[in-house]
Amino acid sequence: MTDLARPFAALRPRPATAQAVVAPPYDVVDTEEARALAAGRPHSFLHVSRPEIDFPPATDPHDDRVYARGAANLAALVASGVLERETSRCYYAYRMRMGAHEQTGFAFAASVRAYEENRIRKHELTRPDKEADRVRNIESLNAQTGPVLCAFRGNATLDDLLRRAVAAPPLLEADGPNAVAHTIWRLHDDALIEAIGSALEALDALYIADGHHRSAAAARVAAARRGRSRTADAAASHESFLCVAFPSAVMRIYDYNRVVADLNGLGGDDFLRRVAREFTITRAASRVAPTAERISISSRRA
* Per-residue model confidence (pLDDT) at position 242: 96
Q: What is the mean pLDDT of residues 63-78?
A: 97
Q: What is the mean pLDDT of residues 68-94?
A: 97
DSSP state for residue 90 in the 8-state scheme: B
What pTM was computed for the model?
0.85
User: Does pLDDT of 91 surpass 80?
Assistant: yes
Q: β-pairing, 120-121 with 206-210?
A: parallel
User: Does pLDDT of 296 surpass 70?
Assistant: no
Q: What contacts 24+ positions apart, CB below 8 Å, involve 22-31?
A: 22/174, 22/175, 22/176, 22/182, 23/49, 23/176, 23/177, 24/176, 24/177, 24/178, 25/49, 25/146, 25/210, 26/50, 26/145, 26/146, 27/213, 31/57, 31/61
* Per-residue model confidence (pLDDT) at position 229: 75
Sign, Cα dihedral of 275, 279, 285, 290: negative
Helices within the chain (DSSP H only):
18-21, 31-38, 46-49, 64-79, 112-116, 128-141, 156-165, 190-201, 212-228, 268-276
* Per-residue model confidence (pLDDT) at position 144: 86
Higher pLDDT among residues 266 and 228, named by residue: 266
Q: Which of 62-66, 144-148, 277-281 has the highest mean pLDDT?
A: 62-66
